[in-house]
Amino acid sequence: MSFVIDIASGILIALGCFFIVAGAIAMLRLPDVYTRVHGASVIDTAGAGFLLTGLMLQAGASLVTVKLVFVLAVFFFTLPVAAHALAQAALHEGVKPLLSEDRTSGDGKDQAASGRQP
């Protein structure tokens, strides 16, 4: 039985590490602030979720598992707040998002060439 749990938690931890590294690669490769936020959210939701679930399976039914659930809750409640504040502050400062299509006004004109404000 413990062998099965070891295998399952190993798979979950490996998946978590995969998503964490993929999110970090996203933060390196993507072109501007708003797209990089998506990379950070891959790290903080999928990566952290899988990794901490794997650790929970290792810990079994104990207070350690409760604390891991709290850590996960902290991740899931703080990420949207931080991401939203970041996007709003960047928009307020006038950092233009690099867009291939802007559907906010409904005309869908191409803004890819507008670039970033210095």
**Does 8 help bind another protein (rule: CB under 8 A)?**
no
Name the token pair of 93: 């400062």
Give Rg (Cα) of the chain.
19
Q: Of residues 3, 81, 107, 113, which one binds another protein by CB under 8 A?
A: 81
Name the token pair of 61: 């039914």
Closest separation in Å from C-beta 42 to another protein: 5
* Interhelix angle 2-29/48-59, nearest 10 degrees: 160
CA atoms within 13 A on the CB side of 107: 4
- How far is 12 from 51, CA to CA, in rounded Å? 6
Convert residues 13-52 into a mask of x (bound to another protein by CB under 8 A) and - (unbound).
x--xxxxxxxxxxxxxxxxxxxxxxxxxxxxxxxxxx-xx
**Does 109 help bind another protein (rule: CB under 8 A)?**
no
Scanning the structure block, which residue is given the tokens 């990379």?
A: 39
Q: Of residues 4, 5, 61, 87, which one binds another protein by CB under 8 A?
A: 87
**Does 84 help bind another protein (rule: CB under 8 A)?**
yes
Window 49-68: residues binding another protein (CB under 8 A): 49, 51-52, 55, 58-59, 63-64, 66-68
**Does 2 help bind another protein (rule: CB under 8 A)?**
no
